Amino acid sequence: MPVTTELSARALLLDMDGTLVNSDAVVERCWRRWAARQGLDGDAAMRVVHGRQGHLSMAILLPDRPMEQNIEENRLMLAEETADTDGVVPVPGAPAFLASLAGLPHALVTSADEGLARVRMGAAALPLPPVLVTAESVGASKPDPEGFLKGAAALGFAPADCLAFEDSEAGIAAALAAGMQVVGIGPRAAAHAPTVQVDSLERVEVTAGADGTLTVRVG
């Protein structure tokens, strides 16, 4: 029988791509085209791009290129990704999971800019959390913890009282560096040492106690 893990928190911080929204088809299309234009191996590029802001992925893949060029190309990449919603769907269990959080303290913490976040959540027919921490909100991208720290502050809780949901190496590292426990969602998360990993949000249940404590059962 599956083992159930029970975690406690006061607030939840949620990544978007790969955690709530399956946008892999768009990411693959856009980033493989970009990699081909640079003469890079597409598979190698895909191992880097998840979870980070695009200009930092570009900097890792092309370390000798000026950052100004990466920032400009990322602007174009964001426009391309925002215009392409073909295949953007909720991850299994995301609609019911977000519905269960209505009225509870939770925030979106994503490396996407606000426009892309709104488009992808809309394409997946998912409600936006009450607090958004997007690329414009931070000076440093995941794996830096700034986004998660800002999400906790916006909700009014200490980082240690927040539980993060993530799928990528960069995102899991960012949440752990912020001092939070992390629920890893999906197979991509398993290799990156989250506090607990689960194949699907269908296996996550959140209940609120009378004192506001959130009990998260994973398993």
The CATH number given to whatever domain includes residue 202 is 3.40.50.1000
Stretches where the chain sits below pLDDT 70 are 1-2
> Are 10 and 37 in a shared domain?
no
**Strands 21-22, 89-90: parallel, antiparallel or unpaired by DSSP?**
antiparallel
What is the structure's pLDDT at 85? 96
> Are 66 and 95 in a shared domain?
no
What is the structure's pLDDT at 49? 87
> Are 145 and 205 in a shared domain?
yes
> Are 79 and 93 in a shared domain?
no
Q: Which residues contact 39 (CB under 8 A, 6 or more apart)?
A: none
> Are 149 and 205 in a shared domain?
yes
Domain holding 197, by residue range, is 5-23+88-218
What is the structure's pLDDT at 2? 62
> Are 164 and 101 in a shared domain?
yes
What is the structure's pLDDT at 3? 77
Residue that finishes a domain, picked among 83, 115, 131: 83
What is the structure's pLDDT at 107? 98
| Residue whose entry in the numeric block shows the structure tokens 């590292």 | 173
Q: What is the mean pLDDT of the chain?
A: 95
What is the structure's pLDDT at 13? 98
Q: Which residues contact 94 (CB under 8 A, 6 or more apart)?
A: 20, 21, 124, 126, 201
Total of domains in the chain: 2
Q: In what order do the strands lie in the sheet with 11-14?
A: 131-133, 106-109, 11-14, 162-166, 181-185, 196-198
Task: Of 58, 18, 14, 55, give the one whose Cα is nearest residue 174.
Answer: 14
